[in-house]
Structures are given as C-alpha cells and as structure tokens.
Amino acid sequence: MARTTEELLAAREKNVPQGPFNIHPLFARDAKGALITTVDGREFIDFATGIGTVNVGHCPESVVEAVSDQSTRFLHTCFHVVMYEPYIELAEKLNALAPGSFAKKTLFLSTGAEAVENGVKIARYFTGRAGVITFEQAFHGRTLLAMSLTSKVKPYKLGFGPLSPEVYRMPYPYCYRCSFGLTHPGCGLACAEHLKDFFISHQAAEQIAAVIIEPVTGEGGFIVPPEGYLPRLREICTEHGIVLIVDEVQSGMGRTGRLFASEVLGIEPDILLTAKSLAAGLPLAGVTGRAEIMDAPHVGGLGGTFGGNPLACRAALAVLDLIEKEDLLRKSRAMGQRIGAALDEWKDRYEIIGDVRGLGAMRAFELVRDRVTKEPAADETKQIVSTCRDRGLITLSCGNYGNVMRLLAPLVITDQQLDKGLAILEGAVSEANRRLESSQAR
Ligand SMILES: Cc1ncc(COP(=O)(O)O)c(C=O)c1O
C-alpha cells in the first residue's frame, strides 16, 4: 500500500540518517516534463530538476525507451570485464562535441565527484605534480578530494577532516562581491593576474598539476566570470604546463545555451567534466580530455565497477539525440532571455534583489537585506523557497551565504508552465521584499 507523506516522513526519520539533507518534505510519485506529482496527488512545477539532472525534463519518451530496450538486453557486464558498444559510442560523441579540435578520449564514472577525483588523478599523473588550485565558491562534490576542493565549510566540510593535502584556493571572479574591491572592466582582471602572485607566495607553478574551475558556479551561486577571465586563466595554465580542468557537472548539457558553458565563454579545457544531466537522471559522469593527458595513467590505473553503466550510456545517447532533435540549445537561450528579462524587471521593483545573473537557462538572483552593505538575506531566501512550495513550485537556493535563488527549470518546460512558475516566484519575492521593508521601517 502506498503511504502518505506524513507516514513516509516518519519512516524516513526513523530509518535514514539526518546527514542527507532534504530541501522539500515531499515524496515523488510520478514526474513528466516539468511537472512532479507527489504521493498525495499534489502537482508541482519543477524549477529544480533534481539539482540540474534532468535538463531534458522528467522521463522523455526516447530516453525511457532506450533504457527499457537496454534493460531487456543486459543490465551490467562491467566495462572492465566485457565491453559494450554504448560506452564506446558515447565516448565518440563526447569527444566530438567537447570544445577543442584536438584528439580527445573519455572515461566514464557514475557521479560528479568521481569525475572530479579522476580528473585530478589524471592531471597529477600526466604532470607528475601534486598541487591543485581551486576557488572560493567552488563546489565539486562530497568525496574526500572533491570535498577538499569545495569551498563552503558548513555543511560540506565541517567535522570531516583531515582534508586532502595540496589543495590551494583562490578568489573566484565574483564581480558582485569582488575580493579585490575592483570593478570590471577597469580591474584589468586582477583576479586572474593574482595567480602570478600566488606562484610567488603560495606554491610554485611547477608544483601545480591542475586548476579546477566551474565556468559558472553551481552551488556557489551561479556566478558568471567577467568577459576575458577564463581565456586569461587558460593562457596562464598553458604558459605553466598546468592542466585546466573545467567542471561542467552543473553548467553542461545545454543549460547555458550551448552544450557546454566553456563554448559560451570561449575556452578549450584540457579536461572537461560532465555528470548530472548527461544521462537524464541516471548516474553517469564523464571525464573528456586531450588524448595525451587521458592516456597518461597506466592500464588498470582508472576505473570502477559501475562506471559507464550500459543503461546510463544508452540514456545519455538518447539525451544527445533529443537535444539536437528538439533544438534544446536554442530553447535554452530563448528561456534564458525570457527569465533574464523578468529578473531584470524584478530587480527594478524589489530592493531585496541585489544582483541578477546567469547564462542561457542557468539564471539566478542574489538577495540582500541592504543594497549598499550587501548583507545576505539568507532567512528571506529560505522563506521564498517555502512560500513557492506552498503554492506549487519547487525551487532551490544556493550560494556560500545561502542567499541566491537559482532557476533550473527543464529546457522542455512550456511557456505557460514557465510563466506560471515565474509568477509564483515573483509573488514570493514581492512578499519577502515587503516584509523586509516593513521590518526595517520599524
Ligand atoms: C559543479 C559540480 N561538480 C561536482 C558535483 C558533484 O556531483 P555529484 O553530486 O554527482 O557527486 C556537483 C554536484 O552538485 C556540481 O554541481
């Protein structure tokens, strides 16, 4: 018998540890396109897509058919034991699609964190160096190295040390809160040039294996680097023989209006990481990189039992077909314009919105209690998430200060669903703004 939400919540509390957080006290029954129906029959518009895992929407027919067909053939043989074509075909496709006209190779794993771990392992092996440079506002996952590369302390790192050694952190190019107190473009990209100081004051360039960066931060608040930043970083890495690893786990698979944000921002990574929306919700991650770098580790040095599971590879092949057939990259850009225009208007209307930003359909706005001090409005952000839920919209916040609302609607959402979702969100923002203004007037 199906249980009610209350019964399931009680059973969850009794049987599952508190560590795995739950943003919404909801249990899904079915999901299709941009809609999720819960066990008690409530329907929600989904602006979260499982933290960006179903850019193509819930259960697209062609993906479900590919997975069903594969499930009648074999579920798993383990790529290391008996190989199968979908793994090879998907590697061929990603090698052709990832930016850069050089020869590439792809390794498959199951999760984003594993992609991060393997990207760094490969870069270390290739360069014979240990150091890895990461950024403030970075999120790269929860395994030991990925967690060490991640920025935000609570909840991700607190109490889980010792952290992995040879991890160095730089300021992310976060123009709204510039670490150097400068303004782009007059800043001369001081945040990128800072790497040169870093090589003097922290660690020599010849000890650094890799720089790992999200081209648009995910959990860190959908921050988009200013024009020229990533190409400059690319130049510095090339100059010093440092492997540039670009983590597109959240920004990839059409989210920013091209298949990869790297393409929008004009860089060719040495190693590009994918996961999340790659297989429409099935666990799959890719490490795609320059052939000579990817081939550095010895035979047997890389792998994992479930990496590149055949169901997930078939799903990913169907996802790539769908993105092309349904012209989802154009849809992503159009959606981005529509959302961006709405957010710009809200910023004019509501003082609580300090910044709006994003690329393609990867959009966000940052909430502040005061536009001058930029004091983060974290409680107000939480309130917006719960008000939206009460009115049938699933949303997510993010940011190191927990004060950014990110929009991750599926690229297949209808205009009507998008407008309805935006109207709910605007209502919640407007109420938070009013409450804040009246508390400040007292
Ligand atoms: C940019 C980025 N990298 C890595 C990860 C980790 O992926 P996973 O949760 O699949 O391990 C995430 C997850 O949110 C992410 O956003």
Question: Is 52 a residue whose pLDDT tops 70?
Answer: yes
Domain co-membership, 10 together with 105: no
* pLDDT per position as a tens digit, 219-263: 999 999 999 999 999 999 999 999 999 999 999 999 999 999 999
Q: Does 336 lie in the same domain as 252? A: no
**Using 50, 70 and 90 to split pLDDT, how confident is the model at 59?**
very high
Tell me: do 23 and 112 sit in the same domain: no
CATH code where residue 307 lies: 3.40.640.10
Question: How many angstroms separate the alpha carbon of residue 203 from the centre of ligand 1?
Answer: 27
Residue 1 has pLDDT above 80, yes or no: no
Residue 111 Cα: closest atom of ligand 1: 10
Domain boundary among 289, 305, 325: 325
Same structural domain for residues 22 and 107? no
Per-residue pLDDT averaged across 329-348, rounded? 98
How many domains are contained in the chain? 2
- With 0.95 as the threshold, say if the pTM is over it: yes
Q: How far is the CA of 40 from the centre of ligand 1 (A)?
A: 30
Q: Which of 325, 351, 376 is the last residue of a domain?
A: 325
Task: Judge whether 142 and 148 are in contact, CB under 8 Å.
Answer: no
Looking at 310, 325, 340, which one is the last position of a domain?
A: 325
Pair 288, 148 in one domain: yes
Whether residue 333 sits in one domain with residue 288: no
Is residue 89 located within the same domain as residue 163? yes
Mean pLDDT of 127-143: 98
Average pLDDT, the chain: 97
Per-residue model confidence as pLDDT tens digits over 273-291: 999 999 999 999 999 999 9
Q: Which residues have a Cβ under 8 Å from the Cβ of 365 and sit 6 or more positions away?
A: 343, 346, 347, 353, 355, 356, 357, 404, 405
Q: What per-residue confidence (pLDDT) applies to 384?
A: 98
Q: Are 26 and 143 contained in the same domain?
A: no
- DSSP E strands, 387-432: 393-394, 396-398, 404-407
Q: Please check whether residues 244 and 179 belong to one and the same domain.
A: yes
- Judgement on whether residues 274 and 145 belong to the same structural domain of the protein: yes
* Atom of ligand 1 lying closest to residue 219 CA: 16
Instruction: Judge if 257 and 353 occupy the same domain.
Output: no
pLDDT tens-digit map of 402-417 = 999 999 999 999 999 9
Ligand 1 centroid from CA 141, angstroms:
5
pLDDT over 80 (residue 79): yes
* Pocket of ligand 1, beta carbon within 6 A: 51, 111-113, 116, 139-141, 214, 218-219, 247, 249-250, 275
**Any idea what the CATH number is for the domain that residue 430 is in?**
3.90.1150.10
Judged against a pLDDT cut of 70, whether residue 207 lies above it is answered with yes
Same domain, 128 and 156: yes
- What domain range is 69 assigned to? 63-325
Model confidence at 2, pLDDT cuts 50, 70, 90, reads confident
CA of 437 to the centre of ligand 1 (A): 36
Closest ligand 1 atom to 218 CA: 16
CA distances to 117, 158, 265 from 240, rounded to whole Å, are 22, 33, 21
